[in-house]
Amino acid sequence: MARRDATNCPLCRVMRGLAFGGMGAAIGGYGSMLFGADKNEAIYFALFGAIALTAIMQRKRDRKDS
């Protein structure tokens, strides 16, 4: 029986994206509040933090796979 690569299945990619998105949101949101941003502004920083961390980890993953 052929061995499958389970590290790049669609469910794994979705779960990895959610995990890094959540960590990026926490770092961006709470980090901005630490520097004095209001809660309304922290939402924007959390959104950009989630996008940034997910994109960074995806680029590292793509570079490693090739």
> pLDDT tens digits, residue range 20-57?
999 999 999 999 999 999 999 999 999 999 999 988 88
Report the distance separating Cα 5 and Cα 14, nearest Å: 16
pTM over 0.85, yes/no: no
Query: Of 44, 56, 47, 66, nearest to 16 (Cα)?
Result: 56
- Please tell me the predicted confidence (pLDDT) of residue 14: 85
Report the distance separating Cα 43 and Cα 63, nearest Å: 30
Could you tell me the residue ranges of all domains in the chain?
A: 29-66
Task: Give the pair of three-digit tokens for residue 11.
Answer: 């469910």
